[in-house]
Amino acid sequence: MTQQEERPDPGSFREIVYRRAAHPVGLAVALFFFAQSMTPSLLPRVWYLQGVATGISVATGYGLGCLVAWVLRRCGVHPRWSAATRRRGWWLLAVVAVVVIPTFLVLGSWWQQIVRELVGLERLERLLYLPVVLVAVIVALVLIAGARLLRFGVMRMSVFSARFLPDGVANVAAIVVVVVLLVVVLDHGVYRGILSVAERSAAVSDHGTADGVDRPAAPERSGSPDSFESWETLGREGRTFVAGGPTAAEIADVTGEPALTPIRAYVGKESAATVAEGAGKVVAELERTGAFDRSVLAVVTTTGRGWVNENVAGALEFVSGGDSAIAAMQYSFLPSPLAFLADRETPQDAGRALFDAVYERWAELPGDARPKLVVFGESLGSYGGQAAFASGDALVAMTDGALLVGTPNFAQPWGRITEMRDEGSFERLPAVDGGRNIRFASDPGDADLPAEWEFPRVVFWQHASDPITWWSFDLILHRPDWLREPLGPDVDPGMRWIPFVTFWQVTLDMVFSADVPDGHGHSYGVDAAELWADILSPPGWGGDETIRVQEALSGMSQNAEPELTAE
């Protein structure tokens, strides 16, 4: 017999993908993963996201169960169950499923209500959780069918390769070929196709202007009649930024002191071919507006398509009495998640280019005539902005303060600073060198440590329930320290790390992470006023002034970060 004839027929496509019976071990593990997927995570999940998380978890559990069974067979374990025993086993599995599925569906809805209360959201009707099972089954079946399709491809390729190669080599070759083809199709077909469509759509959307946003007349703003930058090139988020913020009169009403019109210098992506050129144009706008004569100069790295948190920017302007300038530029048309997937280098290049350009001009000034140089950024902006600094020490040495908000887990030097935290401090709120210069805060009160806080002052503002900060691929197989330690006050004490499951829970928590009240998730609001007061420490500033600024910010029209919400 030939080598091909000795190999068993792998079966037809329809048989392997659709008709092959489910494996009992796979189903048992899938049932366990179903139950675990209903446990609480960082934020409440709407029913359809819970269904997706559960479906992915079920498919993962099924795959792991089948893998264990396959390994046991390869090790020579071949239990020979009688027909009666197999029948009783199937009945037992069915009974367990009938008990476990509705029980954990009810428990899951109950846990979600607890999480909603912890983050300040109203309770929802628990009957809305019933469709979770339907969504989960559809997602799981699609994923399992996809996995079987890959297996079918490997088996067919292996049979074909066996005509020319030894069995072992043929099997390896088949796996390599199928994996390469899958990567090529996903990367060059699906992935790049989606990004291309998304970028074209985002570029068109960028030409629009949000309702209620009008071109500023003040020369202190980019896009004004006096600006080097035309209104049309600023992009949607840039136009919103330069047209917003408190006026000199509003600042004076709150602080009780004379105020200046804050400077906002901004350059859109359409205005420059490279980030270096854009950074140069921002410096030109700073020169034009007299920004280097202000008392505070802030460099902000924006999120994907140019968004700046109005709470953080406005708070800085109130606390500085309007004697401030903010420099920013747009580097992408895409929302933050897509911008990061499409190009992880550009946010960092933009952060370095803008800070370096501003710093170079700032350093030319006499030491006693320089404004305070501070930096801030949120989410992808914090990630990109930190790229200008090799370490926490460099951040302290090169600036007069920083407020870095909702920093993603993959950012540096945030990661190194967190890893090197003082012994006994928590990962979610590290203490660094006793808090001498760098402090972490979920609530402004967290920045109040016993040790003296020296200048310059740097604050990493991160909520215990923010999935943007705590999401990491390490969650798949490793329990992080923040889940070993006491959890934050707005995180359900019942949250536990579960291999594979927790990763997908936190991944889907990110979808609506900004759609929660301020102080939770990825929603960073008026508490920025207290943190800027700590960082800048203006003379005579006290708690009453901070409260008035917070009230003013609350009364102003706030723009939610579009990159982190479902559009």
Mind listing the pLDDT tens digit for each residue in 10-32? 555 555 555 566 888 999 999 99
Q: How many whole angstroms separate alpha carbon 145 and alpha carbon 378?
A: 40
Tracing tokens 């050129």 back to the chain, one arrives at 277
Cα 320 from Cα 528, distance rounded (Å): 13
The band of 201, judged by pLDDT with boundaries at 50, 70 and 90, is: low
The amino acid present at 563, given as its one-letter code, is E
The answer to whether the predicted template modeling score (pTM) of the entire model surpasses 0.85 is yes
Lowest average pLDDT, out of 64-73, 100-109, 424-433, 482-491, goes to: 64-73
Mean pLDDT of 393-407: 98
How much is the pLDDT for 561?
Answer: 44
Largest separation between any pair of C-alpha atoms in the chain: 97
Contacts of 516 (CB under 8 A, 6+ apart): 43, 44, 119, 120, 121, 465, 522, 523
Average confidence (pLDDT) over 536-555: 95
Residue 496 pLDDT class (50, 70, 90 cuts): very high
Report how far residue 178's alpha carbon sits from residue 13's, in angstroms, rounded to the nearest whole number.
15
Residue boundaries of the structural domains of the chain: 3-164, 207-559
Burial of 567 (0-12, 13-18, 19+ CB in 10 A): exposed
pLDDT above 90 (res 358):
yes
Please tell me what DSSP assigns to residue 162: T
Q: What are phi and psi of 377, to 5 degrees?
A: 180, 155
Question: Is pLDDT of 70 > 90?
Answer: no
Residue where the block lists tokens 């067919």: 156
pLDDT in the model for residue 363: 97
**């049932």: which residue's tokens?**
31
- Return the amino acid letter for 446: D
Look up residue 193 and give its two tokens. Answer: 């196709």
Percentage of the chain with pLDDT > 90?
A: 72
Closest by CA to 372, choosing from 307, 293, 431, is 293
Q: What is the DSSP letter of 257?
A: S
pLDDT at residue 168 greater than cutoff 90: no
Helix (H) or strand (E) run with residue 373 in it? strand 372-378
Residue of 233, 299, 235, 311 whose CA lies nearest to 265: 299
Residues in the chain: 567
* Cα torsion angle, 14, 17, 23, 28, sign: negative
Tokens read off for 417: 């600073």
For the ranges 131-135, 389-393, 432-436, 555-559, which has the lowest average pLDDT? 555-559
Give the pLDDT band of residue 562 (cuts 50, 70, 90).
very low
Please determine, for residue 559, whether its predicted confidence score (pLDDT) is greater than 50: no
Average pLDDT score, the chain? 89
Edge-first strand order for the sheet with 372-378 is 263-267, 324-329, 296-301, 372-378, 401-405, 457-461, 438-441
pLDDT value at residue 14: 58
Amino acid occupying residue 255: T
Quick check: 512 and 563 in contact, CB under 8 A?
no
292-307 confidence digits (pLDDT tens): 999 999 999 999 889 9
**pLDDT grade for 539, boundaries at 50, 70 and 90:** very high
Q: Torsion angle of alpha carbons 349, 355, 357, 358, nearest 10°?
A: 160
Q: What are phi and psi of 560, to 5 degrees?
A: -80, 145
Type of residue found at 421 = R
Cα(217)–Cα(54) distance, integer angstroms: 53
Three-state SS at 402: strand
Cβ 355 vs Cβ 385: under 8 Å:
yes
- Residues 115-164: pLDDT tens digits? 999 999 988 876 667 789 999 999 999 999 888 887 777 777 677 676 77
d(CA 395, CA 388): 8
Quote the CA–CA distance of 433 and 377 in Å, as a whole number.
23
pLDDT at 156: 72
d(CA 469, CA 462) in angstroms, rounded, equals: 7
In the three-class reduction of DSSP (H, G, I as helix; E, B as strand; rest coil), residue 221 is classed as: strand
The span from the CA of 391 to the CA of 401, in Å, is: 14
Q: Which regions of 311-451 does DSSP assign to beta strands (E)?
A: 324-329, 372-378, 401-405, 438-441
Rounded Cα distance, 210 and 240, in Å: 7
pLDDT tens digits, one per residue of 420-436: 999 999 999 999 999 99
Residue 357: name the closest of 277, 303, 294 by CA: 277
Tokens representing 567 are: 């559009």
What phi, psi does 442 have (nearest 5°)?
-95, -40
Report in angstroms the alpha-carbon separations of 41 from 182, 333, 429, 492, 510.
32, 31, 19, 7, 11
Q: Are 116 and 490 in contact (CB under 8 A)?
A: no
What string of H, E and C letters represents the secondary structure of 45-81?
A: CCHHHHHHHHHHHHHHHHHHHHHHHHHHHHCCCCCCC
**Is 80 exceeded by the pLDDT of residue 5?**
no
Measured CA angle at 142 (ends 139, 145), to 5 deg: 145
